[in-house]
Amino acid sequence: MDVLDLARSQFAVTGSLHFLFVVLTLGLAPLVAIMQTWHAVSGKPVWERMTRFWGQIYVINYALGVFTGLVMEFQFGLSWSGLSHYAGEVFGPPLATETLVAFFLESTFLGLWIFGWHRLPKWAHLACIWMVTLTAYASAYWIMVANAFLQNPAGAVARDGHLALTDVGALLTNPALVFALPHVAGAAMLTGGFVVVGASAYHLLRRHPEQGFFATSMRLGIVWAGIGVFVTSGFGFAQFAALSDYQPDKFDGGAPAVSLGFMILIGELFMLAMMFFLLPVVYWLPRWRWTHPILMLMTPLPFVASILGWLAREVGRQPWMINGKLTVADALTPGLTPAMITGSFAAFTLLLGALAIVDYALIVKTVRRGPAGAFLGARDDGAPDPSPAPALSH
C-alpha cells in the first residue's frame, strides 16, 4: 500500500478500537447512575451492590479507554496536518472543548465518585455520577460536532486558502449532527444494556447463588437495551433525509453500502428480539434458562453494529476528508514515508490491541467474580457490606 492507504488504514483500525471503548462507556454511565438513584430513593441494599458491581466494569472500561483517546488525538498531528492547516479554525475548537470536558470535568467528577463512597453525603455522591454521565455525553456531543463538520462543512467558508468559521450556530446544529448524535446514544444504550444482560445471563445459567441480583440486573439491562434499539433505529433511518441533501451518493455501492446493510440487519434482529423479550416476558426472562445462551451470544453484536455504522459513515465520505472541500490526499501530512506510517501503524495497533485485550480480560474477571468481589465502594471502616439479594422464587 502507498502512504495514503496506510494512513487511512491506520486511522480506521485505531478509530474502530477506540470506539469500542466509547460506546460501552456511554452505555453504562447513565445505567449505573440510574441504579444509584434507585438506591438513594429506595434505600434497598441490592441497588447499592448493583451500582458497585456494574460501576466497577464502567470504571475499568473508562480508564483504559482514555489511553485510546490520546492515540486518536496524536494521529491528527502526526498524519493529517493538512486538515489542521486548512480547517483548524473550525475543526480545532470542538476537539479542544471535548478534551477539556473529558479530561478535566468528566475525570474530576469520576474521581470524586470513585473515592467518595461512604465519605461524601449520599446526594452529593449521587450528583457526582450524574455529572459523569452528563459530561460524558457532552464530550460525545463535541466529538460529533467535529465529525459532522467533516461530513457537511456547515458554518464555514473558504477564505485565503483555508476555511473560516462564519456561523457558530450552523456548526453546532449541523444536519449531520442532529440525528447522528441520538443515533450514537441509542447504540450506546443498546451496547451497555446487553453487556449487563449477557453477564447476568452467564450467572443465571450457572445458577449463581445471587440469582435475585442478576435477575434484577437482567430486567433493567433488557429494558435499557430495548429503549436503545428503538432510539438507534428511529434516528438512524431519520438521517437518510438529511443525507440526500449533503451526501446524496454516500451509499451507492462498495464498503459503505455493505457496512450499512449489515448494521441494519443487526438492528432489525435486535428489534425483533426486543419485541419478544421486552414487553411480554421481561419479568419471566431470568427464569427461562433456555434463553440465556442466546442472550450471551447476542452480547457482542451491538459492538459489531457500532463499528459497521462508523465505517459506513466515514468510508462513504471518501475521497473527501471534508466533504466537497478537502480531499484525504490533501489532508495528509507532507513528507511521510511508508516506513514511517508502517512503524506508527504497528505501534498504535499493538498498543490499542493490548489495551482492548486487557480491558476484556479485566471485565471478564470482574464478571466471573460476581458482586461479592467488587472492590469499588468497599468499606474501609470494617463495616460489613450490604447483604446479598434474595434468590429467585420459582
The pLDDT tens digits of the residues spanning 125-148 come to 999 999 999 999 999 999 999 999
Q: With pLDDT > 90 as the criterion, what percentage of the chain qualifies? A: 55
Residue 117: what pLDDT? Answer: 93
The answer to whether the beta carbons of residues 199 and 188 sit under 8 Å apart is: no
The Cα–Cα gap between 277 and 279 comes to: 6
Q: Which long-range contacts (C-beta less than 8 Å, at least 24 apart) are formed by 336-345?
A: 336/3, 336/7, 336/79, 337/3, 338/1, 338/2, 338/3, 338/6, 341/3, 341/6, 341/7, 341/10, 341/79, 342/6, 344/10, 344/78, 344/79, 345/6, 345/9, 345/10, 345/13
Is the pLDDT at 289 greater than 90? The verdict is: no
Residue 145: what pLDDT? Answer: 95
Banded pLDDT at 384 (limits 50, 70, 90): low
The Cα–Cα gap between 178 and 191 comes to: 21
The Cα–Cα gap between 351 and 18 comes to: 11
The answer to whether the beta carbons of residues 45 and 387 sit under 8 Å apart is: yes
Banded pLDDT at 303 (limits 50, 70, 90): very high
Residue 393: what pLDDT? Answer: 42
Banded pLDDT at 382 (limits 50, 70, 90): low
What is the pTM assigned to this prediction?
A: 0.90
* Average pLDDT taken over every residue of the chain: 87
Is the pLDDT at 390 greater than 60? The verdict is: no
Is the pLDDT at 167 greater than 90? The verdict is: yes
Which residues, in sequence order, are bridge partners of residue 270? none
Residue 394: what pLDDT? Answer: 38
Q: pLDDT tens digit string along 355-378?
A: 999 999 999 999 999 998 888 877
The answer to whether the beta carbons of residues 139 and 101 sit under 8 Å apart is: yes
Of 123-137, 277-291, 305-319, where does mean pLDDT reach its minimum? 277-291
The Cα–Cα gap between 156 and 137 comes to: 25
Residue 37: what pLDDT? Answer: 97
Residue 173: phi and psi, rounded to 5, are: -125, 35
Residue 279: what pLDDT? Answer: 55
